[in-house]
Amino acid sequence: MKFNCRKSTRIWIAILVSVTFLLAFSTTDIYKEISDSYKLYNAVYRQILLNYADPIDASALTESNIRNMTANLDPYTVYMTEEEKEPLEILSKGEYGGVGLRISMRNDTLTVISPIDGSPGKKANILPGDQILKVDTVTTVGLDLNKSTRLIRGNVGTKVELLIRRPGISEDKVYILERAKISVNDISYTDYLKDGIGYIRLAEFSKGATAEIRQAIDNLKKRGKLESLVLDLRSNPGGLLEEALGVAELFTQPGDTLLLTRGRNENANRIYTSSRRPLLDESVKIAVLINGGSASASEIVAGIIQDLDRGVVVGSPSFGKGLVQTLFRVDKEHSVKITTAKYYIPSGRLIQKPNFIKNPKLIVSEAPQDSIFFSRNNRLLKSKGGITPDVVVEPESQSEYITDLWRQNQFYSFAVKYKTEHRELPRAIDDTVLDNFKSFLDKSGFQFTDKTEKSIRETEKLISEDKRLKNVQVDLQPVYAIFDSLKEVEFEANRLMIQRAIESQFAMLEGGLTGQIKADLKYDKVIAETIKSLDNDAEYKTTLGYAR
């Protein structure tokens, strides 16, 4: 399916008209199916409630049945209470009532990552690393992060009391903060990677994301000559469609087909085209970064840039979420989010990966998809869901040892302890700091067991529990002694990764999320490859099919 803007648009219009025509004849059948199914469901439901041996909570049974119903479809069709709908409302409004603290769970304790500039939390001098022990009268230790977040948020003008422990300070302190309107900031970091190459990391596509990027680009232009722009959408889960299209319009030409949505309901069938002049001249090179955590709106933007040959896509293949959801209110307390259409980018590619229906027997038919697509410059594009980068950079592998250090929060805990004891953090992570960390691990209770040792210990347990082998004596202590000696080797083998991790956590305590991102970018393999690609004009043009 070769990309051609006008021809593609005419084809899609013809398809949409045909779908609408067919729907007119099928509506009657649909309502008859609904009526028959409704009668059957009610009959069974009535018999169960009236005749089951024990009394049944009718509301709980109903909710369970509805959740099972949606669970049989795709992962994004869900039944929601008002509480569960809150994140969607924040996404669509781009703001919420709160105190402006980015928080995370560290060692079962609610911990401040960074306060938002201008927020009540920032004005009260709450710092990265502060631990929130209570919200009003509710203890947060061991509490789910989402529940803790909901406790802190509330109506603008109301007050919330936070009990905070600051590492290194013996006495906990109570902060009484008045909730304010907090704007969601989707850009977590922006700066120049080097002269001429600007960088923007977008964490999500909530309301206002387009305006944020526009402002960030304007700021970059004021600070230097913007010859290339890197838009980092790695681990960006998506968000609002209108914001994804708004971002794409900043880089595309008026009249360009950006996206098509196709569904069974005629209201779901739409063609979106760019209607504004781009913010950046076509001489400015573009690189969009993606990975397996880039989904939905992120894939739309990356796919548009790739299909129209406006820039290079760098990183690893994206998630493959190309389904459109619409929120329907059921009553005052409940809503249902239903997949109503699918996303198709300019070349005609479907973003959604195949086999997404949990119970395929429920779907009457699924139209086969084309497998060959081309960009505007006739580049062959890979399909079957998700976006495959033009420049593939495999994620840097991480050893089991480093994974366990992160999982057990050893780097963060050490950073907090070091700052508490030394007051100031070092500019560089030298051998003295690393030796300090090694001593810290010896006392922290850190446990590392690699896959082989785990398997041996599990086998030993099975042998000891098997009555048939009660007289068998297996002495594995010499083997375990070898593993203990290997743990010493693991530290030295991972010394460079440990150094980077400590630097990252020190930077977070010093400068919040911005400081951490800036520290991590120095060692980012994808960033290095992106700069290399943008610096080589011939390679960049060849990748996009401009030079053969």
Instruction: Just list the catalytic residues.
Output: 296, 307, 321
Helix (H) or strand (E) holding 480: helix 477-493
CB 282 within 8 Å of CB 305: no
Q: Which residues pair with 259 in a beta bridge?
A: 272
DSSP code of 447? Answer: -
- Assign 150 to helix, strand or coil: helix
Cβ–Cβ under 8 Å, residues 76 and 323: yes
Whether the Cβ atoms of residue 205 and residue 238 lie closer than 8 Å to each other: yes
* Residue 182 neighbours by CB under 8 Å, 6+ apart: 95, 96, 97, 98, 99, 100, 116, 119
Element (H or E) spanning 421, and its range?
A: helix 410-422
- What is the rounded distance in angstroms from the CA atom of residue 360 to the CA atom of residue 364? 9
CA–CA distance, 184 with 204 (Å, rounded to integer): 9
| Burial environment of residue 518 by CB neighbours within 10 A (0 to 12, 13 to 18, 19 or more) | middle
- Beta strand segments in 369-409, E: 373-374, 380-381, 391-392
- Regarding beta strands 334-344 and 257-262, do their DSSP bridges make them parallel or antiparallel, or are they unpaired? antiparallel
- What would you report as the CA-atom Rg of the chain, rounded to the nearest whole angstrom? 27
Distance CA 98, CA 202 (A): 22
Q: What span, in angstroms and rounded, lies between the C-alpha atoms of 515 and 128?
A: 11
| Other CB atoms within 10 A of residue 49 CB | 14
* DSSP-based three-state secondary structure for 220: helix
